[in-house]
Chain A
Amino acid sequence: MSTFTGVTRLSANQRFESASEQALIEQCRRQNFDAFGKIIDLYQARVMGFVRRMVRNAEEAQDITQEVFIRAYQAFERFDGRSSLRTWLFRIAYNLCVDRARKVERSAEEITLEGTADEPALEFADDRWNPEAVALDQELASVIEAGLNAMSEKLRSVLILHDREDMGYDEIAQALDIPVGTVKSRLFLARNALQEHLNRYWNGERRA
């Protein structure tokens, strides 16, 4: 059962970060291959999860994730520590995804910022939306993934970083190079968009 595994993993990573990440970073600055391997072990799943949800093609996501770590390895001497390592890695990942998106035109089915503006905020009165009561099955997971794919990259990135990776507003603002206010706005719009998508799924299921 994979429910809430993300929370456990994150807290473990946070403990590790505070304890020994600095030592690893110092070793990586000296091009220590083994130390960088430990950094990869620590972040590969999370970075790949982010990239996988930012690009639709799984193979492309794997290539981009490799590229993230290759670039990080090459540029580690320039990592100044002003942001956390996690923020830095996600920033590289986001920039690579954006570069890739500039090459490949987005399909017209994206929900744009303007498109979600007039959507009314949804209420989650239904008991099934109680987080403790929701038991995600494969079908619902795929519906959520589809909802994420339907968003613009701007909304999706903020939503994943905040609600999936538990990053704070400031950290996201650093990673994506946008103001904190914009982070909040995009998070609000992204959540509304996903709620709308899920609501359509539930309504369709009820009718069926």
Chain B
Amino acid sequence: MNRHDLLRKIANDQPLTPAEEAWLDAELAQEQAVPSCLKSLPEETPSLAWRSSLNEQLRALAPAASARPRRLWKWLTGGSLALGVASSIALVLIWQHRAGLTSPAPSPQVAPSVEAALIAAHQEGMSQIEFSAPSKSSASGSNTATEEFQWSEVDLESL
């Protein structure tokens, strides 16, 4: 293997034979001095001012970068909120309409009996009030009761 030719091939980035590649790999692997020198160079430490300036630039970019998702989110949430409210109102109206249509009409057999019972209970209660002794509190109101109630002759005789 001609070293000079090999170096020329390497310099011209020409394809190497397997033997030449093996030689190059070995050369690269055994080299230690240059890597050590380079690793020993001092680190670059960015200043706080540099970092602060970078942060400012990134923050300036941040709203623009997130504007599209935010707009999409706003549109989605705004739309869904309005749609939700509209749906709720529509459901309530439909339910009320349906309830009006389907609510059972008072049964003619049941309603009069209930009403009659209520009226009877009321009348019984009223008669008990009338025959009971008037209290002090109701004494003042008794005049109005006598004025309003027209006693019949039969009633007066029964007393």
Contact = CB atoms under 8 A, between A and B. Distances in A.
Is B one of A's binding partners? yes
Interface stretch (B30-38, B85-93, B148-156): B30-38
Q: Which of A9, A45, A163 has the most CB of B within 10 A?
A: A163
**Looking at chain A's contact residues, is the secondary structure mostly helix, strand, loop, or mixed?**
helix
A8 B45 CA distance: 16
Interface stretch (B59-67, B104-112, B124-132): B59-67
Contact of B54 (A40, A49, A182, A191): A40
Contacts, number: 133
A198 B39 CA distance: 15
A54 to B, nearest CB: 12
A118 interface: yes
A152 to B, nearest CB: 12
Contact of B7 (A5, A117, A124): A117
B13 to A, nearest CB: 5
A101 interface: no
B103 interface: no
B10 A185 contact: yes
A163 B35 contact: yes
B136 to A, nearest CB: 82
Given A66-B54, A129-B33, A131-B36, A74 B65 contact: yes
A187 to B, nearest CB: 6
B24 to A, nearest CB: 6
Interface string B6-38: 011011110110000100110110011111111
A97 B45 CA distance: 19
A161 to B, nearest CB: 10
Contacts of A124: 33
Contact of A184 (B11, B24, B61): B24
A134 B45 CA distance: 23
11 contacts: A2-B41, A33-B62, A44-B51, A65-B46, A70-B61, A130-B33, A131-B36, A141-B41, A144-B41, A162-B35, A184-B28
